[in-house]
């Protein structure tokens, strides 16, 4: 039984769960999970955990992401992307100070997620309320836009690269950017080029997976960017004991033989405690 990380370049027209189901059939296992949902119209990096590696999902979803997005100025939609119904239009006559507007969105900020999203409010997903025509208050969320780079300008369409924190909705970002430029707008195209340490160049297609052309990434390799602690006795981890340390961030804990045992994090009292065992 294979255990580890599988990197898929998701094609447009599939949900992330569609990809999981395909991989379950191809790999002949029910234990497959994905780290970070991609909308059906979006393409790019989808990180999948296979079998025992599903225990690592919570750590892989916490990483920052990188996208290449194309926004369209002059038309807004219900879903904030090209698949939605048009809600408003404005003739495109050009814009000013694009670079200044883009750079003004860099940094920590509040963002209102789209109504057509899977965020739950009172036990119900926002898109379920939206499909029923019900209006509901959506709380802004804390996000961090780390980088924005203009890649292309072509009439009313602007393509940019963005590096951002977990939980950032690029659809909302496109709508907010368009508003700052004086237009209704929506996201026309989205490619996730990086999720944490995993890049699109390292991904395979589902067709390649079906043909057996794939590589499973071990957990040791997947967490190689984490700071490392080696324990003399594995029972320290298996019994959930804390490790005395002033480290203030998550670390990967290994056995003397080089096996990844767990991810530990600070308890605020001068110790590291197990976040979750991976053995």
Would you please indicate which residues are annotated as catalytic (active-site) residues? 39
Closest CA to 119 of 130, 132, 108, 107: 130
- Alpha carbon distance 102, 89 (integer Å): 22
Tokens at 40, concatenated: 């059906």
Strand locations in 157-279 (E):
157-164, 185-195, 198-199, 227-230, 243-244, 251-254, 260-266, 271-277
- Alpha carbon distance 99, 97 (integer Å): 6
Cα-based distances in Å from 164 to 92, 200, 209: 28, 16, 29
- 127 close to 169: Cβ distance less than 8 angstroms: no
Angle in degrees, CA 157, 75, 149, rounded to 5: 30
Cα Rg of the chain (Å, integer): 21
């Amino acid at each position: 039984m294979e255990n580890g990380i599988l990197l898929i370049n998701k094609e447009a027209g599939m949900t992330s769960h569609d990809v999981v189901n395909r991989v379950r059939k191809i790999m002949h296992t029910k234990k497959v999970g994905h780290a970070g949902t991609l909308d059906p119209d979006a393409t790019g990096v989808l990180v999948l955990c296979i079998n025992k590696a599903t225990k690592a999902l919570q750590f892989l979803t916490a990483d920052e992401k990188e996208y290449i997005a194309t926004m369209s100025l002059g038309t807004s939609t219900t879903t904030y992307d090209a698949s939605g119904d048009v809600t408003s239009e404005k003739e495109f006559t050009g814009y000013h100070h694009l670079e200044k507007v883009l750079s003004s969105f860099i940094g920590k900020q509040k963002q209102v997620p789209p109504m057509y999203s899977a965020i739950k409010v009172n036990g119900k997903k926002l898109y379920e309320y939206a499909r029923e025509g019900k209006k509901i208050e959506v709380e802004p969320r804390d996000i961090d836009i780390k980088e924005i780079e203009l890649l292309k300008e072509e009439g009313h369409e602007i393509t940019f690269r963005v590096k951002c924190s977990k939980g950032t909705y690029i659809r909302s970002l496109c709508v907010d950017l368009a508003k700052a430029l004086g237009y209704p707008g929506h996201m026309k195209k989205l490619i996730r080029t990086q999720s944490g340490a995993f890049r699109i160049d390292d991904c395979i297609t589902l067709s390649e997976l079906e043909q057996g052309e794939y590589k499973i990434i071990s957990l040791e390799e997947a967490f190689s960017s984490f700071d490392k602690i080696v324990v003399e006795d594995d029972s320290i981890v298996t019994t959930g004991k804390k490790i005395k340390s002033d480290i203030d961030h998550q670390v990967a804990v290994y056995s003397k033989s080089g096996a990844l045992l767990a991810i530990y994090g600070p308890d605020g009292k001068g110790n590291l405690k197990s976040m979750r065992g991976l053995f």
